[in-house]
Structure 1
Amino acid sequence: MDFAFDARTEELRAKLLAFMDEYVYPAEPVAHEQRERLASPWENPPVVEELKAEARRQGLWNLFLPDSEYGAGLTNLQYAPLAEIMGRSPQLAPTVTNCAAPDTGNMEVLTQFGDEQQRKQWLEPLLAGEIRSAFAMTEPDVASSDATNITTHIERDGDEYVITGRKWYISGAMHPDCKIFIVMGKTDPEGEDIRRQQSMVLVPHDTPGVTIKRAMQVFGYEDHYHGGHAEVVFDHARVPVANLVGEEGGGFAIAQARLGPGRIHHCMRLIGMAERAIELMCRRAVSRNAFGKSLAQQGVVHNWIADARVTVEQLRLLVLKTAWLMDTVGNRGAHTEIQSIKIATPRAVVDILDRAIQLHGAGGVSQDFPLAELYAGARTLMIADGPDEVHQRSLARRELKRYL
């Protein structure tokens, strides 16, 4: 295993680091200030659009997509350090480089499973950053950690599918530029194979029968930059049969193909969040005095910073190994590692952020520092894309299988 950065990665890292320093970090307070003056909180502040144009101009666009026809053509190993850098400003950086969920996963789905018409109609404007999208899988009335529980019906009626169901925490759905949902539901609810009951269909946002009921908060945050999270009702919404993604019964497999890269992308960004937390801890420690000496001289602070550094280095190596395996043996061959990083990374980063908040005192829970919002995002990732317990169950069963 060789995790050394190649020449292209080094070039993109240098450009992205400079872009963050020159444009992204200075834009964070500007974006917050501009958002307070917008007619709708879901609109992009003007500075976001300016940064998107600059990112495109510099070639820092669609870096996540390994398909060279549509994206940057980077491997997972090449993208990992770039996603880590973007994770240092997880609200702004992924958005302005067109590398933000849920659009990234939806573009991957359309690239791999969409037909020519679907790619032209939806993938191309997504790649250009002209529209946004949403992925509608999670439901409030069932344990969605088991995707086979999904109850949304997708029933064929002649040349149309009729979609009926209720979804929530549908990321991106509140954004005014959200034009398309990828909806997962059951086309064959009585089928013998519970993993072949589901399908995915494309449902335009303005389809009659699609209603945005409300915005969902995450620990009190509304995640405006990523288009928020919504509760969405599909009440006999009709779309052409041509809007089927892939084949009937292929929804579960498509979801797994989508979630593999999504999970590692989250973990890459989490490492960047942890790095920013360490930086903020160090700056705070050397700038504040308590009980006659600086916080940087307090032993407990030494322990927090040292433990954080050790943890981040361990996590980074595991994430890089996972990326390398995904590139060399595929997502299925890297299944154990993908689950391992999904369990380990959010937990560890939550702990680092918790210490950083503690070190900042009242400031740590305020809007004056990014730590509280980073904490909320990291803690959510112990649930999103499969809760820890589901990954632990699967990972343990795979380990035990060798001894049974």
Structure 2
Amino acid sequence: MSYEMETGNVSDEVAELCGRVEDFVRNVVAGYEHDPRRNSHGPSEELSLALKDLARKADVLTPHIREDGSHLTHRETAAVLIRSGLSPLGPLACNTAAPDEGNMYLLGKVGSPEIQSHFLEPMVRGEKRSAFFMTEPAGDGGAGSDPSMMQTTCRPDGNHWVINGRKTYITGADGAGVGIVMAKSDDGACMFLVDLPDPAIRIERVLDTIDSSMPGGHSEVVIDNLRVPATQMLGESGEGFRYAQIRLAPARLTHCMRWLGACIRANEIAADYANRRNAFGKPLVDHEGVGFMLAENLIDLKQAELMVYWCADVLDTGALGTAESSMAKVAVSEALMRVADRCVQVMGGQGVTADTIVEQVFREIRAFRIYDGPTEVHKWSLAKKIKRDWRKANEG
């Protein structure tokens, strides 16, 4: 192995769990990476359920949530999720994938006992997938990186709420059993839990995108007079943005964890290729142009790993960690893009084929630089914080 993963100073119990997850992903899940039940819109439901069944038998299904429903710390979660990401199929198999992992975290934090029983528990058991309905089409002037632009509306009607609007880039909507829908009332943003499928939520098309690791792909959706019982609103009307932050700050970081694992594996494949492949009388790794790229990969991987654990520690203090998760999202996604690109370059023609996961990891990381907020939005947010902090220090 060319890169030594940290255990993150976790307990012996969690270290043992990390070992089991890594063994399962490397020795079981990786064998399904060329399974024909995968297409451009992600793994099929049949493959998804088969992999989760294997994880259940190996006792590594939903490993970041304990039997009593409590979550591992963010540092412990990092150690586990990095290892689940060693295959693009690993998070799906272990039930640590987006958007389910983030949705489970949110419902575990703020869901009522009834919501947790009806919606959360089947997700934890790996029986249902979920989708988070927030982003809206740009042509409609809807919410993207700026959720305050939300156009989807909700209005009370007796003991129900009626929701209307359009959503786009909704990951996993096709085939999901649980939906979290964001809409705007007179009080502000709201979140609702819904059972899927529902005839009032219509998938217009599944988009053809650069990435292909998430079941159901990414959909454009119309919501037409969806009626939701008032008991299925998270919290009170107008609290949706606050709950979104509870979900999004850790979710940005768990994306970093999973894709760090994928790039560690891609780098292993590239390093193995460079040591086996000869050109001009010696192994590729002995050519500085190649060896230096692999050396740079080790540097970027280690910096990304340190950033992940640093941000996890901040979140474990109980801080919201919005600025820290933005820094981690930018630093890690950009570093992993460099790693994935170098892996392709080291492997030459082989790197752009589907013979290994390297080309898929490259595509997935390119998409990762966009979702959960593109680099530029996070930099802009951090710049605004710099200005606020300066004013507080100099004008207060």
The TM-score, its normalising length taken from structure 1, stands at 0.88
Write the deviation string for residues 113-169 of structure 1: whole angstroms up to 9, x where unpaired.
Answer: 222222221111111111111100001133511110110011112222111111011
| Aligned mates of 2:212, 2:364 — CA distance in 1 | 11
Contact 1:199–1:250 under 8 Å retained in 2: yes
- The structure 2 residue matched to 1:130, chosen from 127, 130, 134, is 127
The residue identity in structure 2 corresponding to 1:185 is: A
Contact 2:190–2:240 under 8 Å retained in 1: yes
The residue identity in structure 1 corresponding to 2:262 is: M
Write the deviation string for residues 307-339 of structure 1: whole angstroms up to 9, x where unpaired.
Answer: 110111112112111111211x2242x333211
How far residue 401 of structure 1 moved from its aligned partner, in angstroms, is: 3.5
| Aligned mates of 1:134, 1:403 — CA distance in 2 | 39
Contact 2:26–2:86 under 8 Å retained in 1: no
1:356-395 aligned within 5 A: 356-395=343-382
Q: SS at 1:156's partner residue? A: strand
Kindly report the root-mean-square deviation, in angstroms, between the aligned alpha carbons of the 2 structures. Answer: 2.1
**Aligned pair in 2 of structure 1 residues 208, 356: CA closer, same or farther (>3 Å)?**
same
The residue identity in structure 2 corresponding to 1:126 is: M
Write the deviation string for residues 211-262 of structure 1: whole angstroms up to 9, x where unpaired.
Answer: 111111222x444x43311111001122222221111101101111011111
**Aligned pair in 2 of structure 1 residues 277, 153: CA closer, same or farther (>3 Å)?**
same
| Aligned mates of 2:149, 2:67 — CA distance in 1 | 36
The residue identity in structure 2 corresponding to 1:79 is: T
The residue identity in structure 2 corresponding to 1:4 is: N
% same residue: 35
Contact 2:37–2:43 under 8 Å retained in 1: no
The residue identity in structure 1 corresponding to 2:14 is: T
- Structure 2 gaps of 5+ residues are 1-6, 392-396
The residue identity in structure 2 corresponding to 1:330 is: G
1:203 lines up with 2:191 in the alignment: no
Q: SS at 1:245's partner residue? A: coil
| Aligned mates of 2:258, 2:358 — CA distance in 1 | 15
1:291 lines up with 2:294 in the alignment: no
The residue identity in structure 1 corresponding to 2:81 is: A
The residue identity in structure 2 corresponding to 1:69 is: D
| 1:194 aligned residue | none
1:24 lines up with 2:12 in the alignment: no
Q: How many residues are matched?
A: 381
Q: SS at 1:33's partner residue? A: coil
1:2-401 aligned within 5 A: 3-29=8-34, 32-35=35-38, 43-46=44-47, 48-65=48-65, 69-71=68-70, 73-90=71-88, 92-141=89-138, 142-175=142-175, 178-188=176-186, 197-219=188-210, 221-223=211-213, 225-327=214-316, 329-332=317-320, 334-401=321-388
| Aligned mates of 2:217, 2:104 — CA distance in 1 | 18
| 2:4 aligned residue | none
Q: SS at 1:4's partner residue? A: coil
**Aligned pair in 2 of structure 1 residues 227, 206: CA closer, same or farther (>3 Å)?**
closer
- Structure 1 gaps of 5+ residues are 192-196
After the TM superposition, which of the residue ranges 56-65 and 283-292 deviates more from structure 2?
A: 56-65
| Aligned mates of 1:61, 1:55 — CA distance in 2 | 5
**Aligned pair in 2 of structure 1 residues 108, 252: CA closer, same or farther (>3 Å)?**
same
| Aligned mates of 1:42, 1:272 — CA distance in 2 | 19
| Aligned mates of 1:74, 1:110 — CA distance in 2 | 15
After the TM superposition, which of the residue ranges 302-311 and 205-214 deviates more from structure 2?
A: 205-214
Contact 1:163–1:237 under 8 Å retained in 2: yes
**Aligned pair in 2 of structure 1 residues 357, 100: CA closer, same or farther (>3 Å)?**
same
Contact 1:365–1:372 under 8 Å retained in 2: yes
**Aligned pair in 2 of structure 1 residues 49, 208: CA closer, same or farther (>3 Å)?**
closer
After the TM superposition, which of the residue ranges 391-400 and 270-279 deviates more from structure 2?
A: 391-400
